[in-house]
Amino acid sequence: MTKAIQTPVPRTPRGQRAKHDTATPKKATPKPKPTPKATPKAKADEPKTPKDKQKLSTDSAPSAKRRKKTDGDLESRVFFNSRLNAHEADTEQFQPTREDRQLYDAARSAAALEEAKVTGCAVDASTPASTPGAVSVGYRVKKIRIGSYEIDSWYISPYPDEYSRHPLLYICEFCLKYMKSSYTYTRHCQKCTLRHPPGDEIYRDGSISVFEVDGRKNKIYCQNLCLMGKMFLDTKTLYYDVEPFLFYILCEYDARGYHFAGYYSKEKRSVQGYNLSCIMILPSKQREGYGKLLIEFSYLLSKKEGVSGSPEKPLSDFGLLSYRSYWRRAVYEILLHVGERARVVTIDAVSRKTGMTVDDVISTLQTDGMLQRKGVSYAIVVDKARIERFVELAREKAPRRIDSSKLRWAPFLTKNTTVVQEDDGDISV
């Protein structure tokens, strides 16, 4: 048997490569290299060498001499034109403490009690006095100052709570912005550039003008207008949703601008055919014929559109009185004018001439006892002497009237509207 003799291989010192390898070593399986971790990019300001680090540490930590120099520079600086020194200009020392908070709550509670005595509102005893909102929300603006007038309010208007707490509210007569103090009101009047309502002037007769304002284009103005109108209207419930409405502002003109006197509003698309939603005249401008003037103006626009109109129900007390007076005057004038030409007058003819609905015409005739039943049908019984006497008394008062020739206006919606041509001849049926 032959045995294989293995020759020993001399060891190679470390760091040197063997020159002669008699035996071929086995190849070692390479180990998977670990994935290198992503090293964050060095920032531009980060030091790269130890010298840079040492230099940065010496620069970032000022010495005592440097601190003294900085404090000296702070003391030598000028604050508010030498009115404050460095200690007084330091705001960090004025942070409120717990005692300051207690003093503030006590002062706030005392002010709330004093304001409740002035406004006549009760204080909720169940809520701690130091808690915000301790005073009840039963506030009411008692007066408004608009222009040169100070007017008492009739009803509660939902102004924001911070404004409702004040018994007197200041309102700009041009932009209708409301303010809490006389100082703010005076400053606003000096800077306000608006001298007329933000809309189109569609009617002018002497010193009287009417502007049409779109609630969608001038939302803030119309909201302020509705909030002020609620002070004098009990049945008004709309304050902020003004986009579906058109507002017609009645103004008095002078050298300073167009001063607010009253307004009425109507829906852009009224399903019931209303030509007026609400009407309001300032108490300082009442008893001057402005209410009937706006009512007549609303019916003029209805006739311009070729439709009959009626106010939205229910009417307020003053609104009902004004409308009944206007309806009576309008119907009597038509009966007196048409009665001279035709012996027979129909309710539809009166409705076309006045722009009133048939229901309003019938209601006016029934109230005055001029609609009587004859058999199956009804007939209009005209007392000519009574009508002439009423018309003469109305003309003696010289009321304000609308001149249709001075209207410069086109309907807001012209689709599906037909113009009714009036015939000045015989309107009998």
Interatomic CA distance for residues 235 and 314, integer angstroms = 8
pLDDT score recorded for residue 131:
39
pLDDT score recorded for residue 134:
35
pLDDT along the chain (429 residues), means of 10: 52 52 51 55 52 50 47 56 74 81 88 71 44 46 92 91 88 94 92 93 94 94 94 83 94 94 92 90 91 93 91 83 90 79 78 91 88 80 84 85 92 54 40
372, β-bridge pairs: 379
pLDDT score recorded for residue 244:
92
Cα 105 versus chain centre, distance? 33
Interatomic CA distance for residues 155 and 231, integer angstroms = 5
pLDDT score recorded for residue 391:
87
Interatomic CA distance for residues 375 and 369, integer angstroms = 17
Contact of 86 with 73, CB cutoff 8 Å: no
Classify strands 208-214 and 245-254 as parallel, antiparallel or unpaired: antiparallel
Catalytic residue among 173, 296, 305, 312: 312
Burial class (CB in 10 A: 0-12, 13-18, 19+), 147: middle
The position carrying tokens 């005209």 is 382
Sheet holding 178-179, edge to edge: 149-152, 143-146, 168-171, 178-179
The position carrying tokens 């129909």 is 346
pLDDT score recorded for residue 62:
47
Within 8 A by CB and 6+ apart from 96, the residues are: 104
Confidence (pTM): 0.65
Active site residue 333: no
Buried b / exposed e across 330-347, counting CB within 10 Å, b at 16+? bbbbbbeebeeeeeebeb
Interatomic CA distance for residues 316 and 262, integer angstroms = 16
pLDDT score recorded for residue 265:
94
Interatomic CA distance for residues 217 and 108, integer angstroms = 41
pLDDT score recorded for residue 202:
95
pLDDT score recorded for residue 314:
80
